[in-house]
Structure 1
């Protein structure tokens, strides 16, 4: 006999209906997306709205409330990472004039903690707080290259969507690319997510030497010099890592 979802699971299913693509939903849409009877959805939405997790607008649509943002800000490790990295990201943006990203790995997805973009930057899909499959982004590939083997294999054995005709979707090819990224210390992703974009990313290590995040610049392919971006991105990642307490191991003398 299949177990019935708990109240907590149903509440979470309501919250999970919202995304960057669907930031506002009607009660009927919530019920359909969560697979709940309309009466149950009405009760759960009412509880979440009363608590502050959902807010209803003047047109009757619901969107995520500030209470969730407040709780999210209590995730000290990631909030601290973002605050420490922002000055370095700002310097990188000033130097390149292109989209600058800070991302972390969550399962086999990347979640973007920060994004800086200018009016002339190439148009891309990411926003602060959004997520994408790690296999399709430069930051994601850097993070997968340094992730635990089981996480990496889970990403490689899942279907890899072809966002463009140039997206690497073959698991064996991507596995080799991840090995190259781990050795090189940076990633170049050419037309993987958009036909007119090229991205360069580098890993950020924390005080324990673990790769905790990645920084990237995404530029317009026709006007971006990858050769100039690589040292700028690697230098930024190194600066953030040092501020997090990372110290490169001293080389042994022979």
Structure 2
């Protein structure tokens, strides 16, 4: 954890990246008025290993994402005191954060699971998802995932790629299937893990991954 206290703008950025639960384009943060106006403050978060920055030659903007340490630091804000100079809106925000903390504890769900289910991520942009795509999946979708797995797996507990599972489902928006997978991951007989050898992943396998925290999961097993 950094020795220096975070500024309110830095706190806001960490919380925004936690809510989006994945890579976020800098231009989206700017439109949402969450972007840090002074690059040194952003660079401090990089130096403290709380966020990562990625640049692509073909696009004129940065992509930001929380590191594992950044997730931990953002989660601390859920039980933190209201920062100085936060104002009335900031005080209300921290009331909401405390309610979220209580909800996570009561429902035994992680912040990563909760926010990933509603982030509506599409690749690296992580812009706002259409409202229609944020509908929680029914139990039927979870049952269909289990059936698709059973048809694909050589035996119970064998690893199956999420690309194959999504292909077997045929329909269903990615956010809806992601949400169903995250719900299933809470079941004792279900496991989601990343591919250990990332170099072997195809573009389709990367696209089919479900993100939990700051890590993409590519493989599903049921009955382990």
TM-score between both structures, scaled by the size of structure 1:
0.29
Structure with higher helix content: 2
Q: Which has the larger radius of gyration?
A: 1
Structure with higher strand content: 1
TM-score between both structures, scaled by the size of structure 2:
0.32
